[in-house]
Copies of this chain bind each other. A is one copy, B any other.
Amino acid sequence: MQRDDARLGEPAYLVLGMIRLGARSGYEIKQMVEASIRFFWTISQAQIYPSLELLKKRGLVEGKSEPLGKRRRQTFVITAAGEAALRDWLGRAEPMPFELRDIAMVKLFFADALDRNQADALLGDVERRSQAQIVTLGAIEPAARGAADHGNVYPMLTLRMGMAFHRAMIEVCETFKAEGDQEAAKRGLLFPPHRGEVPAKPG
């Protein structure tokens, strides 16, 4: 008997999970990922369609042709076996190493090579980026709330995590800037090197 149950990869589970949450076509899956978990994981079209084929072959989803007009479309629903496979994956005790991949943090790490102004600018970029992310995440909150009303409360949790940790990053940026100004003041520069709107308020 040929073993056809070599472990699925992460993209396939992501696709499976999205179908469970109601995404029907490959196109909808992509959209749903962009509107939700994109913050923690991405997937490209070139991964989605082969994943769907694989899931169908394994009987974890059922697909049927459901064109809109003459526009071809294949829609999918999760099967009982699919639900089981998803639960198995979710419950599997496997290492989940936390690994971020953020080039901005790498640049910040090396920022001592820059002069004061450029380093400040970089820090500002990072801070604004987090502010922008919070706005983006705020925009998807209604969708998460909607999911919660239908019994899926965990999307709301991951959304909050995203927001919380950008808030945390902003706070660290602010603290760091304030400390820098203090240092400068201590070194005898009564007015810290010009940086936009930060006045030298007395303690």
B154 touches A119 (CB 8 A): yes
B100 touches A101 (CB 8 A): yes
Partner of A172, one of B14, B105, B164: B164
Chain B positions within 8 Å of A36 at CB level: 109
User: What is the total number of copies of this protein in its complex?
Assistant: 2
Chain B positions within 8 Å of A42 at CB level: 99, 101
A41 touches B103 (CB 8 A): yes
In the bound assembly, the distance between CA atoms of A40 and B102 in angstroms comes to 6
Say which size band chain A's interface belongs to: 35 or more
A91 touches B114 (CB 8 A): yes
A101 touches B99 (CB 8 A): yes
A40 touches B118 (CB 8 A): no
Query: What's the least CB distance linking A74 to chain B, in Å?
Result: 22
Chain A residues numbered 109-156 whose CB sits less than 8 Å from any CB in chain B: 109-114, 118-119, 121-123, 125-126, 129-130, 133, 151-155
Residues of A within 8 A of B (CB): 10, 13-14, 17, 20-21, 36-37, 39-42, 83, 86-87, 89-91, 96, 98-114, 118-119, 121-123, 125-126, 129-130, 133, 151-155, 157-158, 160-161, 164-165, 167-169, 171-172, 175-176
